[in-house]
């Protein structure tokens, strides 16, 4: 993982060294192992290196290839060895052992089609001197970020929003549509718009080609999730075998590293799966035992450390357990708000922040993370609604009792869940009631709710929406910023595109069965993960002790919300913030802190 940046002056004037250097330095945390700049006429590229594969100087970026191409790249191409071998057979020669050089050779041979051959995570900009154009690309599911702004004077891009805003490139003006969507409907990172007017995110699975000659650019979609043909009819045994094979290959690929690798271990099914599979492979290698880190909650009913210890012992993994305190949370608030760059929904991401902080301290430069499993295997309880819609009434009635037996939901909660996610009017009425303290203009229309409700009646449509817009993108943003703040590369094996396509294609009856979510994963991991973890119903994840932490800063939160010019414009007069529910209160606070951190104009 690294940090990339770039500036193109539309007037044709050279880019000042100080301007690109500022952008590059703002990404120093993403790449402390090296930095470089490249200048050519009206264009400048920057790079901050986090050395993972071939840590020698041969991996320095921006990397030049012949006298034609220049690349600044963030990410990993996991199948670079196979591609390198193929390209070598075609006569290409390599001066390094990096995946960066493989990208350049692949582009030289296949052009824009090269990205369809990559298995990995990436965001890069490749300058073709001969064509005077920049080819930019972002990986299939948007694991790696790419932000840009197109102004009358310049085109700028970077790994983080703060780089794009730097030096007055773009004024920090609030995008009120994004703010409203986040606060009222709970959606963020669901479009290519950011919380800042004029700053955009290159969509996942897209390329962008910028012509330095005409100062115009075009975006094209090279990937859209689709089901693999012929998988929906597979029986449980065949589907489970295929799933396990794809998952094992994904983990194997993502253990490729010249530095130490660890795993985030909550004690739940997803992370325990990664721990069990990766330790089998990694512990026989040259870098020693697999390391795992568990973030323990101080609230007893959410303490899952016993499960994490059991998994670590079974897999022969060295486990570190951290227990962040309220004081550490308070001290980290300003930094986390700044590094996340946009508001976030709860304090739970602080646990992730502290976990990656610990990873850096123990020397784990790469961490495997379980993001994506719930999306590809229908792990969220809200999928039950679409699941029940997919079957006849009598069968659905019987399934409700199975769900009650094999999940945390009561019968009443299942019925309420079904109604809430099936009938948009119920959701809209509930949100209008909750946000009646806002001015009417912010609660008149609910376009995202209408779209989500329509999708929630069909599992496949709902799954695709959550992967592409309504769920996964903001989780990946959280992981990227929290990991890269500590110069850690977070890898997500469950988002290997071959594995995702397999899971998307197999029958949904194998994902939710007898009330169990992620059924096929539970079956596949029998013998590798302990039964009491495989068939758990009371899973929390890395949950922060929100209530106790927030109680420590409630006065500060209330003051920040009251003093926010942006929230003052949105709220009715005389709002009593003490009567606002805790989850909404946190979102208001997050907006207020973001507004201050970036001097946001409203």
Please list the rounded mean pLDDT of every run of 10 residues in the chain (602 residues): 95 97 98 97 97 93 96 98 98 96 98 98 98 98 98 98 96 98 95 98 99 97 90 96 98 96 96 96 84 90 90 95 96 98 96 98 97 96 91 91 92 91 90 94 90 84 93 97 98 98 96 96 95 84 77 91 95 86 95 98 92
Which residue in the list 2, 136, 373, 571 is annotated as catalytic?
2
Single out the residue of 75, 43, 73 nearest to residue 61, CA to CA: 73
Pair 414, 356 in one domain = no
545 within a domain of the structure (yes/no):
no
Asked if residue 201 belongs to a domain, the reply is yes
Q: Are residues 57 and 149 in the same domain?
A: yes
Looking up residue 496, the CATH number of its domain turns out to be 3.40.50.620
Based on the fold, state whether residues 396 and 373 are members of the same structural domain.
no
Radius of gyration of the chain (CA): 24
| Whether 307 and 326 share a structural domain | yes
Domain boundary at 407, 432, 463, which?
463
> What confidence score (pLDDT) does residue 298 get?
82
Q: Residue holding tokens 């699941």?
A: 387
Known catalytic residue at 2: yes
Helix extents (H) in 196-285: 236-254, 269-282
Same domain, 80 and 34: yes
Separation of first and last alpha carbons in the chain: 34
Residue 391 sits in the same domain as residue 278: no
Cα(175)–Cα(437) distance, integer angstroms:
20
* SS3 category, 513: strand
Rounded Cα distance between 102 and 575, Å, is: 58
CA distance 369 to 377: 16
Residue 188 is assigned to a structural domain of this protein: no
Domain that holds residue 361: 236-377+471-534
| Residues 487 and 365: beta-carbon distance below 8 Å | yes
Check residue 83 and report its DSSP letter.
H
The domain tally of the chain equals: 4
Beta strands in 354-493 (DSSP E): 366-368, 489-491
pLDDT at 489: 98
- pLDDT at position 540, please? 62
230, part of any domain: no
How many CA atoms are closer than 13 Å to the CA of 544, on its beta-carbon side? 23
Same domain, 519 and 555: no
Q: Are residues 353 and 479 in the same domain?
A: yes
Query: 204 and 113: one domain?
Result: yes
In the prediction, which pLDDT does 574 show?
Answer: 80
What pLDDT does residue 48 have? 98
Q: Are strands 2-9 and 154-158 parallel, antiparallel or unpaired?
A: antiparallel
Asked if the structure places residue 182 within a domain, the reply is no
Tell whether 522 is covered by a domain: yes
Residue 290, C-beta contacts closer than 8 angstroms, at least 6 positions apart = 261, 262, 263, 275, 278, 279, 282, 283, 315, 316, 317, 318
Pairwise CA distance, residues 101 & 80, whole Å = 9
Q: Residue 542 has what pLDDT?
A: 62
Q: Is 190 helix (H, G, I), strand (E, B) or coil?
A: coil
Of 390, 388, 448, 382, give the one whose Cα is nearest residue 421: 382
- Return d(Cα 584, Cα 226) in angstroms, integer: 36
| Residue where a domain stops, chosen among 463, 489, 520 | 463
Indicate whether 367 and 288 sit together in one domain.
yes
Pick from 253, 252, 259, 254: nearest CA to 51: 259
Residues ≥6 apart with Cβ < 8 Å to 564 = 588, 591, 592, 595, 596
User: What separation in angstroms does the CA of 593 have from each of 73, 295, 340, 556, 557?
Assistant: 31, 25, 11, 11, 9
pTM beyond 0.85: the answer is yes
Cis before 62 (ω within 30): yes
Residue 184 belongs to some domain of the structure: no
CATH number for position 141: 3.60.20.10
Domain shared by 287 and 431, yes or no: no
Tell me: do 109 and 8 sit in the same domain: yes
What does the alpha-carbon distance between residue 277 and residue 261 come to, in Å, rounded to a whole number?
13
CB 188 within 8 A of CB 194: no
Going 109 to 113 to 119 to 122, the CA torsion angle's sign is: positive
Q: For residue 116, what are the contacts with CB-CB under 8 A and spacing of at least 6? A: 222, 223
Instruction: Give a yes or no: residue 189 inside a domain.
Output: no
């Amino acid at each position: 993982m690294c940090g990339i940046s770039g500036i193109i002056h539309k007037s044709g004037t050279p880019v000042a060294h100080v301007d690109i250097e500022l952008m590059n330095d703002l990404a120093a945390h993403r790449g402390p192992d090296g930095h470089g700049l490249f200048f050519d006429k009206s264009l400048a590229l920057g790079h901050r290196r986090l050395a993972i594969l071939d840590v020698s100087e041969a991996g320095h970026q921006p990397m030049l290839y012949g006298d034609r191409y220049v690349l600044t790249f963030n990410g990993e191409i996991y199948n670079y060895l196979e591609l390198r071998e193929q390209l070598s057979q075609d006569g290409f020669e390599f001066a390094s052992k990096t995946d960066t050089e493989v990208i350049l050779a692949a582009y030289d041979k296949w052009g824009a089609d090269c990205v369809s051959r990559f298995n990995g995570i990436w965001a890069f900009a490749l300058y073709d001197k001969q064509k005077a154009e920049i080819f930019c690309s972002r990986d299939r599911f948007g694991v790696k970020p790419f932000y840009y702004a197109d102004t009358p004077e310049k085109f700028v891009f970077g790994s983080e929003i703060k780089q794009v805003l730097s030096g007055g490139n773009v004024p920090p003006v609030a995008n009120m549509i994004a703010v409203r969507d986040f606060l009222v409907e709970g959606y963020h990172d669901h479009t290519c718009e950011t919380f800042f007017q004029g700053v955009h995110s290159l969509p996942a699975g897209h390329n962008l080609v910028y012509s330095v000659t005409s100062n115009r650019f075009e975006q094209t979609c090279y990937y859209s999730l689709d089901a693999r043909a012929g998988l929906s009819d597979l029986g449980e045994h065949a589907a489970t075998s295929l799933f396990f094979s794809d998952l094992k290959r994904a983990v194997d690929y993502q253990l490729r590293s010249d530095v130490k690798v660890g795993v985030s271990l909550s004690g739940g099914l997803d992370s325990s799966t990664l721990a069990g599979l990766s330790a089998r492979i990694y512990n026989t290698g040259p870098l020693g035992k697999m390391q795992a880190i568990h973030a323990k909650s101080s609230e007893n009913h959410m303490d899952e450390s016993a499960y994490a210890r059991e998994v670590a012992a079974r897999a022969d993994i060295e486990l570190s357990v951290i227990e962040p305190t309220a004081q550490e949370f308070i001290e980290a608030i300003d930094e986390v708000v700044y590094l996340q760059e946009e508001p976030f929904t709860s304090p739970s991401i602080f646990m992730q922040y502290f976990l990656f902080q610990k990873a850096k301290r123990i020397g784990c430069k790469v961490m495997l993370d379980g993001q994506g499993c719930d999306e590809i295997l229908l792990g969220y309880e809200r999928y039950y609604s679409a699941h029940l819609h997919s079957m006849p009434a009598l069968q659905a009635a019987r399934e409700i009792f199975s769900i009650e037996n094999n999940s945390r939901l009561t019968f009443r909660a299942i019925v309420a869940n079904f109604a809430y996610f099936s009938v948009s009017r119920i959701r809209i009425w509930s949100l209008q009631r909750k946000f009646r303290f806002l001015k009417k203009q912010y609660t008149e229309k609910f376009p995202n709710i209408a779209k989500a409700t329509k999708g929630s009646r069909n599992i496949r449509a709902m799954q695709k929406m959550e992967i592409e817009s309504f769920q996964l993108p903001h989780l990946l943003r959280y992981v990227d910023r929290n990991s890269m703040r500590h110069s850690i590369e977070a890898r997500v094996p469950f988002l290997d595109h071959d594995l995702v396509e397999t899971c998307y294609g197999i029958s949904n009856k194998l994902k939710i069965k007898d009330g169990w979510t992620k059924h096929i994963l539970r079956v596949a991991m029998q013998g590798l993960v302990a039964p009491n973890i495989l068939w758990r119903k009371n899973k929390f994840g890395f949950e922060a002790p929100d209530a106790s932490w927030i109680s420590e800063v409630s006065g500060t939160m209330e003051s920040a919300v009251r003093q926010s010019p942006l929230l003052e414009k949105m709220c009715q007069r005389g709002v009593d913030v003490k009567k606002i529910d805790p989850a909404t209160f946190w979102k208001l606070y997050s907006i207020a802190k973001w507004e201050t951190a970036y001097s946001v104009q409203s």
